[in-house]
């Protein structure tokens, strides 16, 4: 090799090394990141919480291992596992912060089954930064109005103590669909009895700080306010992300459904495919239809994530199948396929909502035949129409 060629090679190597040195780091190492992962929400432990609370010696909680093995075989890689905060700390109002032993054991057992099936877990405290006394209709304690940052820090520090070093738990989703906070700018989404949005932000940042001080390096999902179209990050945080994390392992997360009341099955309405469709214009709960209110909402979120240079996820998305006619189910699937294709474009992590073999729902992609059997869950054995979309190779996790 000539001296000139040797010199050129050295220069190229030096440039490569310098390029590697100044490259912008990922939010997390690939094996620690949720970026681009796909999967599903398991709702079973939510419905079983009251049973476990009343009967703490019960066994066989959650889904059987066969459920998670089946989901893994179908190509799913990520399980979002909601945990009921009310039943986890049932006496929080009296100053007792210990976890309910039986329910806490059930949560840890569920993570073990998910791990045994080769899946990864996003643990979520299924509470919008609020807590209510179990089996009562009493007013909830809300972050900044009855709940202190010490309390929200401690609940997540306890999770961290248990799962900090468990590679199966890949992320924490701090608070689910917070609704009891005033919008930072829209007066029609503000109320004198609601803490400010900045209070929610303070609790989130405090938890992040507590986790990092506990030596926990896991990815953290942070949700925006819920559930008006105007509470998306685009409207509450137009200038971008706000979480202070020295590790930069924050994922901003939103939930979205094609209908305003996601818990009830809606018959597919072709009129809502019109880009100009609007109902209750000017109101906080405006219905913009499927094109603008579902597909367009995802596009707005994806563009906000790009402009803000942050990682993002959709922790819940779902459309209707069970209870629909075959023709309607097909139309819902066409819409869902378009939604997932757009999520693919933005490289978003997505966990479909949802599934359970313990009870049935209009959004379920999998379930079990027969009547509801809340306990013990028999295991997933039946596909619903939505499974055809979320199992498409192009909609599964990126390699």
Residue 11 pLDDT class (50, 70, 90 cuts): very low
Q: Which residues pair with 219 in a beta bridge?
A: 171
What is the per-residue pLDDT for 262?
83
The mean per-residue pLDDT over the stretch 349-368 comes to 96
- pLDDT above 70 covers what percent of the chain? 92
> Is 17 a residue whose pLDDT tops 70?
no
Residue 31 pLDDT class (50, 70, 90 cuts): low
What is the per-residue pLDDT for 282?
85
What is the per-residue pLDDT for 5?
40
Mean pLDDT in the chain?
A: 91
What is the per-residue pLDDT for 264?
81
> Is 28 a residue whose pLDDT tops 90?
no
Min mean pLDDT across 195-199, 284-288, 293-297 is at: 284-288
- 204 touches 191 (CB < 8 A): no
Q: How far, in Å, CA of 297 to CA of 229, rounded?
A: 8
Residue 399 pLDDT class (50, 70, 90 cuts): low
The mean per-residue pLDDT over the stretch 361-389 comes to 96
Residue 263 pLDDT class (50, 70, 90 cuts): confident
The closest of 366, 383, 272, 385 to 325, measured between CA atoms, is: 385
Helices within 23-148 (DSSP H only): 44-54, 65-73, 85-88, 101-116
Q: What is the pLDDT of residues 301-342, one digit of tens each?
A: 999 999 999 999 999 999 999 999 999 999 999 999 999 999
- 353 touches 259 (CB < 8 A): no
Strand order in the sheet with 146-147: 130-131, 141-143, 146-147
Residue 32 pLDDT class (50, 70, 90 cuts): confident
CATH numbers and ranges of domains, the chain: 35-395 (3.20.20.80)
DSSP state of 391: T
What is the per-residue pLDDT for 30?
53
The token pair that represents 222 in the structure block: 């942070």
Q: How far, in Å, CA of 362 to CA of 322, rounded?
A: 5
What is the per-residue pLDDT for 16?
40
Helices within 164-242 (DSSP H only): 197-213, 233-236
> Is 18 a residue whose pLDDT tops 50?
no
C-alpha distances (whole Å) from 89 to each of 67, 84, 95, 99, 211 are 27, 9, 10, 5, 19
The token pair that represents 281 in the structure block: 């214009």
Q: What is the pLDDT of residues 133-186, one digit of tens each?
A: 999 999 999 999 999 999 999 999 999 999 999 999 999 999 999 999 999 999
DSSP annotation string for 322-387: TTS-HHHHHHHHHHHHHHHHHHHHHT-EEEEEEE-SSS--TT-SEE-SSS---SS-----EE-TTH
- Which pTM does this prediction carry? 0.91
Q: How far, in Å, CA of 291 to CA of 283, rounded?
A: 18
Residue 14 pLDDT class (50, 70, 90 cuts): very low
Q: Which residues contact 226 (CB under 8 A, 6 or more apart)?
A: 128, 177, 178, 179, 255
The closest of 335, 324, 320, 396 to 365, measured between CA atoms, is: 320
Q: What is the pLDDT of residues 50-105, one digit of tens each?
A: 999 999 999 999 999 999 999 999 999 999 999 999 999 999 999 999 999 999 99
Helices within 171-225 (DSSP H only): 197-213
What is the per-residue pLDDT for 398?
86
The closest of 297, 248, 214 to 35, measured between CA atoms, is: 248
Instruction: Tell me the backbone φ, ψ of residue 290, rounded to 5 degrees.
Output: -80, -40
C-alpha distances (whole Å) from 344 to each of 104, 240, 377, 396 are 35, 21, 33, 9
Q: Could you tell me the sign of the dihedral formed by the alpha carbons of 249, 159, 80, 174, in that order?
A: negative
């Amino acid at each position: 090799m000539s001296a000139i060629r040797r010199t050129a090679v050295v220069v190229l190597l030096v440039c490569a090394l310098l390029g590697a040195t100044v490259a912008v780091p990922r939010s997390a190492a690939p094996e620690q990141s949720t970026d681009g992962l796909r999967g599903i929400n398991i709702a079973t432990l939510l419905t079983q919480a009251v049973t476990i609370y009343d009967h703490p010696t019960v066994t066989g909680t959650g889904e059987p291992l066969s459920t998670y093995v089946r989901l893994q075989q179908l190509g799913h890689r990520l399980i979002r596992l909601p945990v009921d905060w009310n039943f986890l700390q049932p006496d929080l109002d009296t100053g007792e912060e210990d976890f309910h032993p039986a329910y806490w054991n059930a949560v840890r057992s569920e993570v073990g089954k998910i791990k045994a099936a080769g899946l990864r877990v996003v643990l979520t405290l299924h509470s919008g930064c609020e807590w209510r006394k179990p089996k009562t209709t009493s007013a909830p304690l809300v972050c900044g109005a009855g709940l202190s940052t010490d309390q929200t820090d401690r609940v997540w520090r306890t999770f961290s103590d248990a799962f900090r070093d468990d590679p199966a738990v890949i992320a924490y989703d701090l608070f689910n669909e917070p609704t009891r906070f005033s919008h930072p700018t829209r007066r029609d989404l503000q109320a004198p009895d609601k803490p400010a949005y900045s209070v929610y932000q303070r609790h989130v940042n405090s938890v992040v700080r507590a986790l990092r001080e506990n030596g926990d390096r896991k990815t953290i999902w942070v949700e925006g306010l819920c559930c008006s179209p105007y509470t998306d990050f685009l409207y509450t945080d137009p200038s971008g992300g706000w979480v202070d994390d020295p590790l930069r392992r924050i994922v901003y997360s939103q939930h979205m459904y094609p209908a305003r009341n996601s818990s009830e099955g809606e018959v597919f309405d072709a009129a809502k495919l019109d880009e100009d469709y609007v109902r209750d214009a000017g109101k906080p709960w405006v219905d913009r239809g499927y094109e603008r209110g579902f597909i367009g909402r995802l596009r707005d979120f994806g563009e906000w994530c790009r402009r803000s240079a942050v990682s993002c996820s959709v922790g819940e998305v779902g459309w209707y199948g069970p209870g629909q006619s075959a023709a309607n189910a097909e139309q819902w699937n066409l819409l869902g396929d378009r939604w997932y294709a757009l999520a693919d474009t933005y490289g978003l992590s997505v966990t479909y909502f949802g599934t359970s073999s313990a009870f049935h729902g209009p959004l379920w992609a999998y379930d079990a035949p027969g009547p509801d059997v809340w306990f013990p869950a028999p295991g997933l054995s039946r596909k619903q129409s939505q499974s055809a979309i979320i199992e498409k190779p192009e909609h599964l996790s990126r390699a």
